[in-house]
Structure 1
Amino acid sequence: MKQIHRQQLAERLLALAESGALQQSDARARIADVIDSVEHADAAADLRRVTILLSDLRGFTALAEQHSALAMVEALNRYLARMTEIILRWGGAIDKFMGDAIMVLFGAPEALEDDIVSAIACAIEMQIAMDEINADNRQHGMAPWFMGIGINTGEVVAGQLGSRLHSEYTVIGDQVNLASRIEAHSLRGQILLSEATWRQAQGFIETGDVNEVSVKGKRETVRMYELQATHRPHRLVAPKREIRNSPRVEVDMPLVFRRLKGKAVGTRKLDGRITDLSYGGMFVRSAVALQAFDDICFALSLSLMGRELTEIYAKVLRVVPLPDGQFGYPVEFTAIEAKAQQSIKEFVDGIVELGRP
C-alpha cells in the first residue's frame, strides 16, 4: 500500500513538471523528498508476535580448514540455496545469513496465521534436506555436515534498522536472544523448541528429551524440548543423525587417571589432557598407550566448577593415533555420582553460553 502511494505521488509530480507547472529540477527534489518521507514512515517499529528459527552448521570452521576457500563458498552456496527454497515455501522470511547460520522469521514482516506450524514443519524439512546436501558433499570429497536448529516464539520489536544510507528490516528483543541461546544448545541434527513454542504446539508435535539449562539474562533455568515429529499440516519426522548425548565443548585441562585391572584400581598414576567435554564423556590426549574398552578412574578437580568432584569411572571407546605420536581416546563415563554429573553439566552449559553475546 505504501509502495502504491509512493508511486502515485511521484507520477503526479512528474505530470506537473511536464505541464510546466513545476520545474523538472524541483520535481526531482520533490520526488526524492516523497520517497525519503515514505521510507521514513516505513521505518516505524511495531510490536508483534513472531516465531524465530535459527540454524547453524556444527563444526563448520574446522571443516572449512580442510578445503580451499573457493570450494567451501561453492558448497555453502549450494547449502544456502536449498535451505532458502524450503524456508520460502513454508512462508518464512530470511532475516539474515550469518556465514553458515540462518535467521528466519515466521510472522514478520507479513503476518502468518499458523507461524508455529510453518516454522516447525520448515525445520524438519531442513533437517531432512541435509541428506541431499551431504550426498552432494560426498561427491565433492567433503565430510558430512550437521545442522542444529533452535525455535522460539514471542513478542519482538520489528521494523527498519539503520540509517538513510543503509537500513534493513529485522527484529530485536529478548525473544531473539533466547532463540539464539536455544540454537547454541542444539546438537548435531537436532531441533530444539523453547517452552513458549512447545506450549503452543504440544497438541500436534512429538518431543523427546527435555534439557534444562541456565542461560545469561534469565534468573530461572530455561527448558528446551527436542522436536521429533509434527502432525500439522501433515506428518513429518525429524531424522536421527547420530547418537547425541549432550553438547561437546572444547577445553584444555590436565588429567591424572589410573587404569583398572578387573575390578581393582591400579596404583600407577597416568597423565593426559582433556580436550573436549560433554555431559557423558570426554576426549583425552595422552602418551599412555591404552586399549579400546579399557576402564579408567580419575578424580576430576576443576576450579572453574567451584568444587572438587568425586571419583569418576569411565571406559575408553576407541584409540585414535595422533600425528605427534600421542593417542586420542573418546571416553564415556560409566559410574558418576549425581552431584558430579550436575557439576559437569553446569560447566558445559556455561561454556556454551560464553559462545553467545
Structure 2
Amino acid sequence: MWTKVKNLVWQWRGVWITTPTVTGLIILLRLFGLLQSWEWGVFDLYMRWRPQEPKDDRVVIVSIDDRDIHHLQRSAISDATLAKLLNKLKAQQPRAIGLDIYRDLPVDHGYEDLAKVFTSTPNLVGIQKVVGKSDRDIVAPPPILKERDQVGANDLVIDADNKVRRSFFYLTDNNGKTVFSFSLHLALHYLEKEGIFPNKDWQIGKAQFRPFEAYDGGYVRADAKGYQILINYRGGSRYFESISMTDVLLDKVPKNWGRDRVILIGNVAESSKDFFFTPYSSTLLSLPEPMTGVEIHANLTSQIISAALDNRSLFKSRTEPEEWLWIFFWSFVGATLTWQLRYHSIFALERFVCSIITLGILLGSGYIAFIWGWWLPIVPALIALISSAIGITAFVARSVADIRKIFGRYLNEAVVANLLESPEGLKLGGERRKITILTSDLRGFTATSERLQPEEVVKILNFYLECMADVITQYQGTIDEFMGDGILVLFGAPTQRKDDAERAVACAVAMQLAMEKVNTKMQEWGLLPLAMGIGINTGVVVVGNIGSEKRTKYGIVGNQVNLTYRIEGYTIGGQILISESTLKEVGSIAMVIGQKQVKPQGVKEPITIYQIGGISDPYNLVLPSKKEELKTLPQPISIQYAVLDGKDICDTLFKGSFIKLSCQEAEVCVENISPEELPAELTNIKLNLLSFPLHELADEDVYAKVLTKPTSQGNFYISFTSKPPTVEAKLKSLISEVSHN
C-alpha cells in the first residue's frame, strides 16, 4: 500500500508541486491587491452580460434637466417652485417622495410654502451629506425634515477606479448619531405599507442584509466603515421610468401616475455634475457613460424593496478560506489536465478541446453564480488555472531538458539538435546511407553476472556504460542501443561526416583504453577485471525512425548490421577487429597488427578482418601491447570441452589437456582426434578442469575462444573469456608455482 502511495506521489509530482505553489502565489498577489482592478472588471462585465430585468414600476424618477431649468428662467429651483412640485406629487398619493436635492438653507421668499410642505408630508425624505474630509464637504439636511427624522444620507462609496459598486445602508455622523441612507428611508416607507419592518439584525421581509466587509468579493482591505452593501443594479442609465419636472408642474402627468410608488426627485442636468461611473458605464465599443446620482439611489431603493418582497438576490461572497479552496481547486484542475495531456502535442485536438471546455466551465460557473448573487473570485481562479498549466508545461519542458541532457550523454549536441529541432528529425521513415557501425561486448560477462547479485550487476553495467558513453560522445558517435553489456554505435547517422570511419576506429581504441579506468573500479569493488571486444564495419544500411507514432526508435536495418555483429563475435577481450571496407575508409592511419580471413554465417564469400592496435595522427592513440608468456606445465591438466554454436552448447564432448598456461591463454593438446574435429579458429568453447590440482573445480564452467596462433598438429591455443573467481585464483596460484620452480 505504501509503495503504491509513493509511486502515485512520484508519478504526479508535477501536480503536487505546482498546485499549492501557484495557489500560494495567487493568494499573495490577491492579498497585495494586485488583482483587485481585474476582479472589479469581471464583476462589471458579468453585470452588463446579465439578462435584462423587467422594470421595477414601484420606483420612478422626476428629473430636473437643463430644459427644466431653462423653462424656469433661473439658475436654481426656487423654494416656491419646489413647494409646488411637491404638492403636485403629494396629490398622486405615493408611498414615499425622495428629494435628492440639498435644501439646508432657504433659497428665496417662497421658503414658507416649502416649510409647510415639509411639515405636512410625513412620507417625504430629504438628504444630507454625512461623509467628508472637512466641514466644507458636509452638507446639512433641511432643518424641518431633520427635526422630523425624515432625512437620509445620500453618500456613495467610490472605488479606486472611480466607479460606484457599493453604498451605505446606514452610517454614523460626526456627532455619533446613526443616519439611515436616503434609499433605505424610502424603501422602509414603501415596505411599511406592506406591513414589513426590519428587525435588529436587518432581516427585512425575505432578505437578510449583511454588511459589506473589507475582503468581500474582489476587494482587498476596502474601507468598510459604516454599514455598507454591494449595489445590485437593475440596469444602466435611463432604466427607471422618468418624467420631467416641467411635465409635473404643467399637469401633463396621468392622475394616478405616482400612486403607491416611490418618487425620487433629482437633478440630471449636465451643470449639476451629479454623475458617477458604474459597472454599466464601461463598454468596449463606446465611451464610458456615467449615471446620475438619483438613478443610483433609485437602484438602491429598488434593490431593498425587491429583496424584501421578491427575494431578489443580494450580492454575497464566500469566506476567505473558501475562496482559497476555490483558487486551489482550479489550480489543481489546470495542473491535472495539463499533466494528463502532457504527452499530447500542444496543438493536439484533445488539448484544445479540453482547454476550451475547462475555460467555459470556469467562466460559466462564475457567471451562473453571479446571477444567483454570488461573487466568486474568477480572475484568481483563471490565473491559477492558466498558471498551473504553464507551470506543468514548464515542468515537463524542464523534464524534457533533463532528458535531453541525459540524451546528450549518449549523443553529441549536433545529433540531439538534428533529432529534436530539425523538422524532419523525428518523422517516421528511413533512407539508404553509407555509415560506419561499431559494436562492443564484454567477454564472458553473462556468465560472470550469474554469480553476482542483480544490484551488483546493475552497478557494474552503469559504471561501464557511463565510461563508454563519455568516450563515444567525445568522438561524436550515436549510441543507437544498449543491449545488456553490448553497445551499438553509429557513425554517420543521423549526421554524416567525411571522417566517420576514422572517428569510429579512434573511438574503439579510446574505449579499450578507457577499460583501465573501468577495471580500476572493479578492483576497488573486489571484482574480477572486465574485457571488451569491439567490431567495426562500414556499409550501406537503411537508417531512420522506425516504429509507430506512439513508439519510435531511431535505428538501422540491413545485412551490414549483422555482419558487424559477426565481426565483433570473433574478438577476444581487449581486441578491435574491423572489416576491409572500414580499413579502406580509414586508410594508412589505422595501425593493423594482424588479419584473418573468415567466413561469417550469412556471408557467401570469405572476408578479411583486421586487428587494430591503434590509430595515428591526428588521434595518436595506441593500445598497449600485451604478450602472454605461457608457462609449460610440469604435468598436463586434463580438461573436457564442448564447442559453442552461437548461444547453444554442442552435445559432443572432447577430452584434452593444458600443456602450457598463462593467466589469459592456454595451449590445449588433444589426442586421438582428426584435424577436422579440432575446433575452428575463433570458435567459442566451454571447458571444465578435471585433473589434480584443479579437480575440485570440475563443476565450474570456463569459457574461452580458439585463437589463430599456429601450433603443432593436434594442438590449439585458447584465450579465456570467462573464468569463475575460484578458477581464476587457482590458475594464478598454479602459474606462480611453475614460475618459481
In the alignment, the residues of structure 2 paired with residue 225 and residue 333 of structure 1 have an alpha-carbon distance, to the nearest angstrom, of 17
2:685 counterpart of 1:322:
no
Contact 2:435/2:491 (8 A) holds in 1: yes
2:601 counterpart of 1:273:
no
Structure 1 equivalent of residue 527 of structure 2: 142
Structure 2 equivalent of residue 228 of structure 1: 613
Q: Which is helix-richer, 1 or 2?
A: 2
Structure 2 equivalent of residue 335 of structure 1: 712
In the alignment, the residues of structure 1 paired with residue 528 and residue 512 of structure 2 have an alpha-carbon distance, to the nearest angstrom, of 17
* Paired residue secondary structure (1:121): helix
* Structure of higher RCO (CA pairs closer than 8 Å, 6+ residues apart): 1
Question: Counterparts of 1:1-357 in structure 2 under 5 Å?
Answer: 24-25=352-353, 42-240=427-625, 243=628, 273-275=640-642, 298-301=671-674, 321-323=694-696, 334-336=711-713
Contact 1:57/1:101 (8 A) holds in 2: yes
In the alignment, the residues of structure 1 paired with residue 655 and residue 624 of structure 2 have an alpha-carbon distance, to the nearest angstrom, of 32
For residue 301 of structure 1, report the CA deviation from its aligned partner. Answer: 4.3
For residue 334 of structure 1, report the CA deviation from its aligned partner. Answer: 4.7
* Paired residue secondary structure (1:300): coil
Normalised to the residue count of structure 1, the TM-score between the two structures is: 0.65
Instruction: For residues 300-326 of structure 1, give each alpha carbon's deviation from its aligned partner in whole angstroms, at most 9, with x where no partner exists.
Output: 1488789xxxxxxxxx9x965132679
In the alignment, the residues of structure 2 paired with residue 296 and residue 208 of structure 1 have an alpha-carbon distance, to the nearest angstrom, of 27
- Going from structure 1 to structure 2, the CA distance change for 1:95 and 1:244 (only over 3 Å counts) comes to farther
Structure with bigger gyration radius: 2
Runs of at least 5 residues in structure 2 that lack an aligned partner in the other structure: 1-344, 357-422, 645-652, 662-666, 680-688, 719-741
- Going from structure 1 to structure 2, the CA distance change for 1:319 and 1:208 (only over 3 Å counts) comes to farther
For residue 335 of structure 1, report the CA deviation from its aligned partner. Answer: 2.0
Runs of at least 5 residues in structure 1 that lack an aligned partner in the other structure: 1-9, 18-22, 29-37, 246-259, 262-269, 278-282, 307-315, 346-357
* Paired residue secondary structure (2:550): coil
For residue 230 of structure 1, report the CA deviation from its aligned partner. Answer: 0.7
Normalised to the residue count of structure 2, the TM-score between the two structures is: 0.33
Q: Which is strand-richer, 1 or 2?
A: 1
For residue 291 of structure 1, report the CA deviation from its aligned partner. Answer: 8.4
In the alignment, the residues of structure 1 paired with residue 699 and residue 537 of structure 2 have an alpha-carbon distance, to the nearest angstrom, of 44
Q: Which amino acid aligns with 1:322?
A: H
Instruction: For residues 144-196 of structure 1, give each alpha carbon's deviation from its aligned partner in whole angstroms, at most 9, with x where no partner exists.
Output: 10000000011110111112221111011011111111000011100001010
* Paired residue secondary structure (2:528): coil
In the alignment, the residues of structure 2 paired with residue 173 and residue 237 of structure 1 have an alpha-carbon distance, to the nearest angstrom, of 32
For residue 46 of structure 1, report the CA deviation from its aligned partner. Answer: 0.6
- Going from structure 1 to structure 2, the CA distance change for 1:25 and 1:135 (only over 3 Å counts) comes to same
In the alignment, the residues of structure 2 paired with residue 154 and residue 291 of structure 1 have an alpha-carbon distance, to the nearest angstrom, of 43
The RMSD of aligned alpha carbons is: 4.4
Instruction: For residues 188-244 of structure 1, give each alpha carbon's deviation from its aligned partner in whole angstroms, at most 9, with x where no partner exists.
Output: 100001010012223211101111111122111111100111113221102345649
In the alignment, the residues of structure 2 paired with residue 61 and residue 326 of structure 1 have an alpha-carbon distance, to the nearest angstrom, of 18
Contact 1:92/1:119 (8 A) holds in 2: yes
Q: Which amino acid aligns with 1:72?
A: V
Contact 2:502/2:585 (8 A) holds in 1: no
